[in-house]
Structures are given as C-alpha cells and as structure tokens.
Amino acid sequence: MRIIERILVFLKIDFQNWVYTLSSLVTICIEVLIDNIIFLLIFLGYKNVLSAYIENYTNYVLIGLLVYDILVTIEKSLYGALRRGYWNCIFDAILFAPSSFLPYVISHLIENLLFSILRAIILVISFFLLFGLTLKFTIVDPILAFLVTALSTITMVGLGLIEASTFILTNSKRGSPLSHLLDFIIKVLSGAYIPLQLMPVYIRLISYFLPHTYIIGLYRYVLLGASINVNLFLEILIIQSLALITLGYTLFKLALRRARENASLLLWI
C-alpha cells in the first residue's frame, strides 16, 4: 500500500503543475489533428485501392493508431521519466533520501497512460464526428487477446529499458530532435495507417523487423478479425519479446550500476 501512496504523491505534484498538464493537453490535440489529416489524405488518395483490401478503413486505422499510441506510451515512459526526473531536478530531490525512484517512474507511466486514454477518447470522437465512425469491435479470441497484451507489454518494456539505459550509458540526456520523426516513420512502417501489402517490398522488409507490426496486426485480428498468419505473427512476437526484455534488462542493470558509480542521474547536487 505504501508504494501506491508514494505513486499518488508524485501524480498529485505533477497534476498540481498545471503548466505541464496544459502543455500535454495541447500536444495531444495537435497530435490528434495530425492523425486526422494524414488519415484524410491517405483515404482520399487511395480510396479505391484501400476498399479492395479493407472492409472498414476507419476502424482499421483507429485500431492501428490506438494500439501504437499505447505501445509507444509504455515504451517511452521509462526514458521519459528519467529525462524529466533529471532535467527537472526531481532526482536531485528524491535520490538523496533512502527512497527508491520506482514509484516516480510508475507514476510517470500512469500519467502517460492517462494522457494516452484521453488522446484515444479525443481520437475516437474526432473520427466519429469527421468520418462517421461506427464502432464494430468483437473479441475473436479472448485467450489470444490476453496473450498478445502480455507479449506486447513485455516487448515494449524491453524496448523501453534499452532506450532508458542509453540515457545513462551514452549520456543521451537531451533526447533526439529526430525522435518524433522516427516515431512517425515507425508508425507508418508498422502498418498503423496503411496495410503492409500496399507498401513497396523493400519498405516491407523493414516493417518485418519491427515488433509494432506484429502487435498491431494481432490486435486487428483479435478485434476486427483481419486476415493475418496468426501463428507466424505470434511466434515472431514471442521471440522478439524474449530477446528485447533480456537485452533491456541487462543494459538497464548495467546503466544503473554506472549511474551509481558516477551519480549521473543528478544534475546539480
């Protein structure tokens, strides 16, 4: 119970800081607007081709965007927590006490997930108002749905650990200006907007390396009954999740050891 209490303290102080909350809300609105514009452009440009592959393109894209958004939230939360904790001197305030920084990281994840849910709601409303969305989701296989959720969480936590470890190991504390661009490229490549079959073969080769591709594909199968090779997707995702979580855990452990040796999570003390 004490950890919940600690998480709530960090959540409270973050939401008390209305500048941060307001800027997050504005960012969400801009991101949703961009998603709507891209959807509209693709839909208008490839209407005929898309209708040959997909029965309900609006639902297809909505699932892709929602799943991708949640995946990225899980993936980036740890790095984001370290980055914010470092630059806002939160670590300077909490690391001097015998208190673990885990509650802070979890609070950051919860906060991001809350914003993700809000973003999802705004996205659904905008799709409903602008494109006449009709929600037609049925869970085809509940066990598979649970398995995919577990595997995708493990995979994203693995990726998140790798990314977070670079914060300390490569001193990449400023983040990357290319990060948003790369996010967008990965979003496109993983098939959030367009089915993989419509992409050129050489681009598809990159998509096959991305765990996001398999996760989005499997969720579309579970919720929309989209046609994919379920067994192949699942096998690849299992291999990727195991590899990423092992690599992530090892690197993050090394990073924490390095941080303790160099006090590199502290900015001013």
Are the beta carbons of 191 and 216 closer than 8 angstroms? yes
Contacts of 47 (CB under 8 A, 6+ apart): none
95 or 194: CB nearest another protein:
95
* Shortest reach from residue 16's CB to another protein, in Å: 6
Which tokens hold the place of 131? 């494109």
* Shortest reach from residue 145's CB to another protein, in Å: 28
**Tokens 């999802």, residue located:** 120
96 or 208: CB nearest another protein:
96
| Other CB atoms within 10 A of residue 48 CB | 7
Contacts of 151 (CB under 8 A, 6+ apart): 215, 234, 237, 238, 241
* Shortest reach from residue 208's CB to another protein, in Å: 17
Q: Where on the chain is the footprint of another protein (CB under 8 A)?
A: 2, 5-6, 9, 13, 16-20, 88-90, 92-99, 162-163, 165-166, 169-179, 181-182, 251, 254-255, 260-263, 266-269
* Shortest reach from residue 158's CB to another protein, in Å: 11
56 or 179: CB nearest another protein:
179
57 or 68: CB nearest another protein:
68
19 or 52: CB nearest another protein:
19
Which tokens hold the place of 227? 């046609």
* Shortest reach from residue 116's CB to another protein, in Å: 19
Rounded CA-CA distance 220/62 in Å is 10
9 or 41: CB nearest another protein:
9
Q: What is the largest CA-CA distance in the chain?
A: 62
Rounded CA-CA distance 109/123 in Å is 20
136 or 253: CB nearest another protein:
253
* Shortest reach from residue 242's CB to another protein, in Å: 17
127: alpha, beta or left? (left if phi > 0; alpha if psi -120 to 50): alpha
* Shortest reach from residue 17's CB to another protein, in Å: 5
| Other CB atoms within 10 A of residue 147 CB | 16
Alpha helix (H) residue ranges in the chain: 2-16, 18-45, 47-53, 57-87, 90-94, 102-131, 142-169, 179-189, 201-207, 211-224, 230-262
